[in-house]
Amino acid sequence: MSLKFGTSGLRGLSVDLEGPASALYATAFARHLLAAGIARPGDEVLVGRDLRASSPAISAIAIAALRKAGLAPRDCGVLPTPALALLGLERKAAGLMVTGSHIPADRNGIKFYRPDGEIDKADEAAITAAAQAIRAEGVAFDAAREDAENLHEAAMALYGARNRALLPEGGLAGLRIGVYQHSTVARDLFVSVLAHYGADVVALGRSETFIPVDTEAVSAETVTLLQGWAAQHGLHAIISADGDGDRPLVADETGTPIRGDLVGLVASRFLGARVIATPVTSNSGIEAAVAGKVLRTKVGSPYVIAAMNEAVAAGETAVAGFEANGGTLTATPFTVNGHVLAPLPTRDSLMPVLAVLALLAAGERPLSQVAEGFALPAAASDRLENVPVETSAALMAELRSGAGALSAFLAPIGVPAKTSDVDGLRVTLEDASVIHFRPSGNAPEMRCYVEAADEAAAARLLKAGLQRIREWAVSR
């Protein structure tokens, strides 16, 4: 059983999580909540899931374990992660979301929530320690499965109402928007919310088999689909999300995806945020594109949330954050369209999608030109899949071993001028381009992020960076 916390939640193979492992970690979560005084015996815990084939079984196992541990699980069914989190905040209930987000279908995961939002790194450590203690006690888990009271409709109604209040009535009238439905839990809500605002909605690519869509590194196959649909249906934009609906995907009128950090930037402006927390992997031009303060963090929602919380504790108002995948979080209330938007300190995909579409609707330019108008440095990112964690760790250790090793590795690409080691290794080259190597925190993958003078240069730099990782891995 190989399970660990990544950048957002516990991840592992589905075959492991469909067994006693889910019961073990659900029990460890319950013990932590009770021991820390975060919950009392009999308190509610909300349980949701995505559309992976393994998720119903894992959810049922977790429900049984939570009940056995003295809590009162409530089944929220298939729903977006932000919808589960929002209901938890309203009911002051902890939560557990069974999802592997965007990773391959043979894997899955669990995201944990306290009554006040996502767990942090200290909680992760406490849950891990509780799981180790339970193993040491020799407690046996038989992967029992149970049902629970269903709160799906309540969660979806609350989340739907939040998003139907963001724009004026008819705010998207005149726009023809495609919704790439695939297997995201947000697929039906996207259609209904866009129709509510008057958009002409075209549902596309619905799948009954789980399709992993990484909105931060959109595959060539997905881009081909999007571009074909854009031309076929005469669309102004195409929207989608990852498996659990907390990472947005927005493509322009040509079907070309817009980078997630630009989506997050648009969402922050839409909210009127004065303090923005975002990881080091987000575009370096963001500081110049906003009037407020930008706080740079490590990759992962726990770090973004920690930075937002520090800002709030320091007396800041209008505090938001986003990740490079576009998932947007809020730490304070915002007034939008005359409505007060309560804080939602977890990644959301629907609000940032609506922010981009509202900007599109407000002008007379195609979305590609709207995006170009932000004049951010050209950036690109992708990943190499099936890179063992040990290989990634060895590569990063070598690159950090000294300037000579880094220069030798980058010799076919460029000359290092400056490095940052906040999360992975971010290298500014002598020509001012940037290349950033970082092992994924969620899967056996190596990620590469680049910035360059133009799109063509960024594409060449990204290709060269991925090739160097590949060559190094093969040479071992």
Tokens of 426: 């971010």
Catalytic residue among 14, 22, 54, 101: 101
How big is the CA angle at 223 (ends 221 and 229), to the nearest 5 degrees? 105
- Note every long-range contact of 131-140, with CB atoms under 8 Å and residues 24 or more positions apart, other chains counting: 131/24, 131/25, 131/27, 131/28, 134/24, 134/27, 134/28, 134/31, 135/24, 139/27, 140/20
284: annotated active-site residue:
no
Q: Would residue 211 be called left, alpha or beta, if left means φ above 0 and alpha means ψ between -120 and 50 degrees?
A: beta
Longest Cα–Cα distance in the chain: 66
Amino acid at site 464? A
- 350-362 vs 260-271: helix crossing angle, rounded to 10: 80
Catalytic residue annotation: 101
